[in-house]
Structure 1
Amino acid sequence: MGHLRRGGALAVVLGLLLAATPAAAEPTTRYRNPISADFADTFADPVVVRGQDGLWYAYGTTDPLREGEKTFHRVPTARSADLVDWTYVGDAFGPDQRPPYAAPDAGFWAPDVRYLDGRWVMYVTVTNTTVSPAGDDFAIGAATAPSPTGPWTFAPEPVVAPRPGGGGGWLWTIDPSQFTDVDGRKYLYYGSYYGGISVTELSADGLRAVGEPTVVAVDNKFEGSYVLRHDGWYYLFASTANCCAGPATGYSVHVGRAKSPRGPFVDRDGLPLVGSRAGGTPVLTQNGNRWIGTGHNGFLTDLSGQDWIVYHAIDRADPYLDEPFGINERPMLIDRLDWVDGWPTVNAGAGPSDGARPAPVTTARLDERFSSGRLTGWRAPTGDWRVTGGGSGGARPLP
């Protein structure tokens, strides 16, 4: 902390507060990827939400969590107080729990969890339904719960049913992502390489698709969508290339923006995300360090107002679970999302981090805040105290 040129009383107050703070209460100020290492070797398609209890909850796709475990967790769930240290708290669904339309061998992929109208709603890919014996008839299901850890109850009907495609197959109805607009209208984005990404409006309870869907991103290129509203624009993030090619993966995140949740979305060069010459401005891609296959993202905002992206990636030196053989090892990572000239980028364009980084601001405990008259402040991730009151507006370092 720099020297104080004014406000001697403030210096005394700060000194007393810091002296009274036990060392064990020091906030987490640094993190290192992957943040799922405490509880999982792989935690693909992650999404993170903040509960009413102030804790953070992460959900991943159905897979084993650890090397050699051989147990497929049906939407594993983890909890954290600081987005750095995580604890596995169980699976969203039991081994015999499935919606009425799901086949016995159905798995649940790519969960998206939201707090809607007083309850938690999980949208999830149901990998096999009773529509077709072929087993490629994906659907989007929904489950509701009173808390982020459940208990989860499936809605009896799919939000988006399996969709017939050309040649007798079924379009890839996967990777759901819900969005609520400023006017309260609810939308769901879904889809993948076979069929592209579509958006549909949802019923008031968020459990049924209504109206006609709109294709917002071309097939054979995009999946894993997520929409954010920022400064009056709607940003459609989507992943491209093969998520699961081990050390050969080129998975990455691209973006387009629009003035409506239904698009049309265009990239920074004005190229649309639909059409034969589909665009997409890169947001997150490999940069030469250990992390490749960076994609299928979610977002969160910490208590300082900083945006963060959560995603999975592959360690080029350890790309697979050795047992069960062939499953891509995709742990959960987090990095800062910056906005530069109206466009998002990760770590100011540096990409995925490998090494200690300033952690998100996730707590407002006494050891991180002070108050003296009209002056208030908080301790930044760097460890510096910052003034947020006193009539100047905004956070600034102490003088």
Structure 2
Amino acid sequence: MKRKLTVLLLALVVVATTFSDARSYAAHWGLSGDVGVHDPTIIKEGNSWYVFSTGQGIQVLRSDNGTNFYRVPQIFLNAPSWWKNYVPNQTPLDVWAPDVKTYNGKVWLYYSISTFGKNISAIGLASASSVGAGSWKDEGVVLSTNGTQNYNAIDPELVVDANGDPWLAFGSFWSGLKLTKLDKNTMKPTGSLYSIAQRTVNSGAIEAPSITYRNGYYYLFASIDNCCSGVNSTYKIIYGRSQNITGPYVDKNGVSLANNGGTILDSGNTRWKGPGGQDVYNSNVIVRHAYDAEDGGNPKLLISDLVWDSNGWPSY
């Protein structure tokens, strides 16, 4: 009896240890099918997952099991007439860094159009009753830059704060990442513009804000350094947090993200170069692209579970 009890106790220790270890490491989703993306954003509707990304008319992938993806029709087949008024030299139907979220019973799709390397840009908005239903409605321009501002109107991110109020984070290079409150009815800016992150090193390369709220903190994820060069990309994902949505955001060492701070979440590995363009879903899933060194540096979709340590810092 004593021997059986000892064996049982040892078995329980092994099971508990295994369970603890399993909780300490996030799962990287094993993806298959069509996973070619850049600047992905993800949403789940019913049993299906949808990934929207940079590309012709906003590219869309769908998965019915969360791992095998296939391409479905793009959002815009023709450019809304107002695009050319804000970005006259835009490459036709070249749409960047969309963000998709649900709020107040609708699906909201923010996106950007721009001229590469210039802050002559605009953030637009489309809405639908559901992703599956389609029939996207053009809601027009949200905000724009014409080259005279010290920030850039790209890489939008809809954020809902702890009180249920909507905000828009955006920005790339220049003076960094910005945040502005949105009107609940129009889902367009109202009020002040806040600066939440900036870099004065490496040509000020910071973009793609993604903010998630968890346990009293707002966590800001961003991409720094340089994308879009295949295996030579130096993109990295960083993060910081704040008890207020408007900041200040600080990293694990207490350095402000408004002053070159940011703890590195992912700087890539031998195969996956330049990870970035991230989006956090429900504070426990993160998507991003990285350049596949085993496939000519093509950008591909990566999805992982986010885990949080006892001090409230993320990893995967």
After TM superposition, list the pairs within 5 Å mapping 1:47-126 onto structure 2. 47-51=41-45, 53-62=46-55, 73-94=56-77, 96-102=78-84, 103=88, 105=92, 107-126=94-113
| Partner residue in 2 for 1:337 | 306
| Partner residue in 2 for 1:376 | none
Larger radius of gyration: 1
Choose between structure 1 and 2 for higher RCO, CA contacts under 8 A separated by at least 6 residues: 1
2:34 maps to a residue whose letter is F
Partners of 1:319 and 1:231 lie apart in 2 by 41
**1:268 partner SS:** coil
- Cα distance, 1:39 vs. partner? 2.1
Cα contact 1:123–1:140 (8 A) shared by 2 = yes
Residues 135 and 86 of structure 1: CA distance in aligned 2, closer, same or farther (over 3 Å): same
| Partner residue in 1 for 2:34 | 39
1:335 maps to a residue whose letter is S
RMSD over aligned Cα atoms: 2.3
Does residue 278 of structure 2 align to residue 308 of structure 1?
no
Residues 127 and 331 of structure 1: CA distance in aligned 2, closer, same or farther (over 3 Å): same
Deviations 1:329-388 (A, max 9, x none): 211111221112211111xxxxxxxxxxxxxxxxxxxxxxxxxxxxxxxxxxxxxxxxxx
- Number of corresponding residues: 279
| Partner residue in 1 for 2:294 | 317
Residues 272 and 261 of structure 1: CA distance in aligned 2, closer, same or farther (over 3 Å): same
| Partner residue in 2 for 1:255 | 239
Ranges in structure 2 where 5+ consecutive residues have no aligned partner = 6-26
Cα contact 2:97–2:156 (8 A) shared by 1 = yes
| Partner residue in 2 for 1:189 | 169
Deviations 1:69-105 (A, max 9, x none): xxxx3111122122101121210110x2325243473
Cα contact 1:256–1:266 (8 A) shared by 2 = yes
1:333 maps to a residue whose letter is L
| Partner residue in 2 for 1:279 | 261
After TM superposition, list the pairs within 5 Å mapping 1:205-284 onto structure 2. 205-219=185-199, 220-275=204-259, 278-284=260-266
Partners of 1:227 and 1:332 lie apart in 2 by 20
Partners of 1:343 and 1:30 lie apart in 2 by 18
Does residue 286 of structure 2 align to residue 291 of structure 1?
no
Residues 245 and 211 of structure 1: CA distance in aligned 2, closer, same or farther (over 3 Å): same
Ranges in structure 1 where 5+ consecutive residues have no aligned partner = 6-28, 63-72, 129-133, 321-328, 347-399
**2:314 partner SS:** strand
Cα contact 2:42–2:49 (8 A) shared by 1 = yes
Partners of 2:118 and 2:198 lie apart in 1 by 24
Cα contact 2:211–2:280 (8 A) shared by 1 = no
1:258 maps to a residue whose letter is S
Which is strand-richer, 1 or 2? 2
Residues 204 and 146 of structure 1: CA distance in aligned 2, closer, same or farther (over 3 Å): same
**2:231 partner SS:** helix
- Cα distance, 1:195 vs. partner? 2.8
Cα contact 1:109–1:175 (8 A) shared by 2 = yes
Partners of 1:110 and 1:30 lie apart in 2 by 22
- Cα distance, 1:257 vs. partner? 0.5
After TM superposition, list the pairs within 5 Å mapping 1:21-36 onto structure 2. 31-32=29-30, 35=31
| Partner residue in 2 for 1:204 | 184
Partners of 1:260 and 1:226 lie apart in 2 by 15
Cα contact 1:137–1:162 (8 A) shared by 2 = yes
Deviations 1:137-188 (A, max 9, x none): 11111011122142212113x111225436xxx7421100010112121100
Structure 2 length-normalised TM: 0.82
Cα contact 1:106–1:127 (8 A) shared by 2 = no
